[in-house]
Structure 1
Amino acid sequence: MLRLVNGPGRCSGRVEVSYQGSWGSVCGEGWSLKEAHVVCRQLGCGWAVSTPPGAHFGPGFGKILLDNVHCSGEESHLALCAHDTWFTRSCGHEADAGAICSGEGSQRLPVRMDHDSK
């Protein structure tokens, strides 16, 4: 399972995965639009717009479950991308991966509609 947390909506935030009943974050070192694109697709949130660095959505708590994630961008699930063994990590929560997707609930400027005709 996969989710984005601490963002303004369900389609942007810190990347968290669930493995063996535990939720944890993903190390963002080497994280790119290819990996974020897989996350956005898996969540039905369109495509990746941005991958803010340095735990932009706040540091996670608990375990870092995935590290050295490398995707082609075509995978249907993040777990299908190449990665180190689960629970193996080389970074701290200050480098937690994040994603901003194009879909519902992503960071977008509101559209203002003026109905006053002068």
Structure 2
Amino acid sequence: TIRLIGGLNRCEGRVEIYLRGEWGTVCDDAWDIADAKVVCRQVGCNLPKVAQVMAHFGPGSGPIQMDNLKCTGTEATLT
């Protein structure tokens, strides 16, 4: 399961993923527009115009569930 938290609407925010029984974040060190495209598609939003980095929507409180993503932008889901 995936969700966006901390944005002004349901289509923006910090990416959080539910894995192994808890919500956690996606490390944004390698985050780019291709990764954002996959997330937007997965949560039913339009394609992104930008991929925010540097904890733009605030740090998460859970563990980092995914790191060093390398999406092409065509994947159906992040998880």
TM-score bracket relative to the smaller structure: over 0.9
1:66 aligns with 2:69: no
Unaligned runs of 5+ in 1: 80-118
Alignment of 1:36-51 (within 5 A): 36-51=36-51
Output the amino acid matched with 1:70: K
SS at match of 1:56: coil
What count of residue pairs does the alignment treat as equivalent? 79
- 1:15 aligns to what? 15
SS at match of 1:39: helix
TM-score, normalised with respect to structure 2: 0.95
- 2:53 aligns to what? 53
Alignment of 1:93-104 (within 5 A): none
**Percent identity for Structure 1 against Structure 2:** 47
Query: What is the CA distance between 1:60 and its match in structure 2?
Result: 0.5
Distance 2:39 2:59 in 1: 18
Distance 1:63 1:53 in 2: 17
Query: What is the CA distance between 1:20 and its match in structure 2?
Result: 1.8
Considering only CA atoms, is the larger Rg found in Structure 1 or Structure 2?
1
Output the amino acid matched with 1:39: V
Please tell me whether the aligned partners of residues 22 and 62 of structure 2 are also in contact (alpha carbons under 8 angstroms).
Answer: no
Output the amino acid matched with 1:12: E
Distance 1:44 1:52 in 2: 18
Output the amino acid matched with 1:8: L
